[in-house]
Amino acid sequence: MKALFDEERRLQYILDVEAALARAHATVRDIPKDAAKEITLKASTRFVSVERVKAIEAEINHDVMAVVKALSEKCGGAGKYVHLGATSNDITDTALALQLRDYTAFLEDGLLKLRSSFAKKAQEHIRTVCIGRTHAQHAVPTTYGLKFAIYAMETDRHLQRLREAKSRILVGQMTGAVGTQAALGRNAVKIQAKVMEDLGLGSVDVSNQVIQRDRHAEFMLLLALIAETLNKFAVEVRNLQRTEIDEVREGFGKKQVGSSTMPHKMNPIYAERIGGVSRVIKADALASLDNIPLWHERDLTNSSCERIIIPEACILTDYILGLSINLIDNLVFNPANIKRNLGLTDGRMMAESIMMKMAEKGFGRQEAHEVVRECALRSYREGRPFRELLLLDKAVSKCLSEKEIDEALDPEKYIGTAVEQVEAALKKLT
């Protein structure tokens, strides 16, 4: 992944665009075919080194022109046709599109693996009943299968977004200074089309001197969305690993050390790392929004920023994708604590179940809510089992039998369509 963004690879992407431009000129007979062949042959880091480009740039203080000069000096007489009619951003923006094309292939593969890991856990725990929490308080039962299916489907939406966005992100341009294509002559439209067809990219419809940065901001925001899904999952793991909850935890190596001073510690370090790195990716995405409003036909404020934020966000997203897949695949579940936590409220978390059962029997829903609420509050305040107070309540006992109350208090019987939802989601993903 890092190799996609190193100096030599970036130089090769730029040389690839210069070669494609020369071939396009030759196709429309603007330059000799032999010249295009020579430029194509020499447009390689085997001939044009990063060191030579840097040496020229140190003299002239222009990175793209340094590449043009370094390539030209290797092409002999054909060198005079290098970069013909183009402006710097025609080359660098199109080269960036090539870079992102290769990166998105890695990203898509990573998202597929992430989705698969979530889906596998959803299937494994499709009937693992646990307490659901809202406002960090016990709510009603849910299943771990449903939890993981939610993450799987969220990842699937990121895949959809990525595939839909490719047509907007993976585009190049050959429009010259301020976008008029004047320097490219009468064959300008054909040249741009041929360059992009050659490189396997789409073409801008209209542009000025740069490809418009809403495209790149969309890509960066997609990375931020992916990072926040990973952070969302990591936060859940961190919470579930709390000593007081301890339902799910990160895998812990046999020789792994949790603390330099507290030998007993087993910290959620991967989940915390994912959360921390996600903040950097989100910040990079925010910076990309400021690259959209450039002055007039262009300025350079986006360029220096993008040299940092795009490689950084891409590499870091790939990094926490890998961490997350490893985290999911090695999660450790604690069935005893999952069951224990279901009973922490002495049955009060089944209050809705009792209320709905009473409503089925003809009891008014609002009236049932108040009766059950009072029983639940008494249970909490007096430290008495919810079941006991339900049986003592005249309205409840008149409406429901003891057997019906016990059935309504069973968490295993109050998960609604959770299993069916997971099955439907997994079917959709296959």
Is the model's pLDDT at 403 over the cut of 80? Answer: yes
What are the residue ranges spanned by the domains of the chain? 2-84, 89-250+265-340, 348-408
Compute the Cα dihedral for 197, 203, 207, 210 and give only its sign: negative
Report how far residue 351's alpha carbon sits from residue 380's, in angstroms, rounded to the nearest whole number.
12
Report how far residue 235's alpha carbon sits from residue 227's, in angstroms, rounded to the nearest whole number.
12
Q: Which of 72, 88, 207, 259 is catalytic?
A: 259
Indicate the fold that domain 2-84 takes in CATH: Fumarase C; Chain B, domain 1 (1.10.275)
The letter for the amino acid at 429 is: L
Tens digit of each residue's pLDDT (9 = 90 or more) over 363-385: 999 999 999 999 999 999 999 99
Tens digit of each residue's pLDDT (9 = 90 or more) over 195-238: 999 999 999 999 999 999 999 999 999 999 999 999 999 999 99
User: Tokens 């449903």 label which residue?
Assistant: 146
The structure tokens listed for 124 are: 């494994």
Q: Which of 135, 167, 264, 296 is catalytic?
A: 135
Identify whether 259 is a catalytic site residue: yes
Indicate the fold that domain 89-250+265-340 takes in CATH: Fumarase C; Chain A, domain 2 (1.20.200)
Phi, psi of 416 (to 5 degrees): 55, -130
User: What global pTM score does this model have?
Assistant: 0.94
Tens digit of each residue's pLDDT (9 = 90 or more) over 55-109: 999 999 999 999 999 999 999 999 999 999 999 999 999 999 999 999 999 999 9
The letter for the amino acid at 207 is: S
Q: Which of 363, 317, 406, 338 is nearest to 110 (CA)?
A: 317
Indicate the fold that domain 348-408 takes in CATH: Ribonucleotide Reductase Protein R1; domain 1 (1.10.40)
- Report the mean per-residue pLDDT for the chain: 96
pLDDT of residue 259: 67
Tens digit of each residue's pLDDT (9 = 90 or more) over 247-290: 999 887 777 777 677 778 788 889 999 999 999 999 999 999 99
Query: Do 179 and 297 meet the contact criterion of CB atoms below 8 Å apart?
Result: yes
Tens digit of each residue's pLDDT (9 = 90 or more) over 124-142: 999 999 999 999 999 999 9
Q: Check for a shared fold between 2-84 and 89-250+265-340.
A: no
Q: How many CA atoms lie within 13 A of 429 on its CB side?
A: 28
Query: What is the percent of the chain where pLDDT is above 90?
Result: 94
User: Tokens 């507290």 label which residue?
Assistant: 262
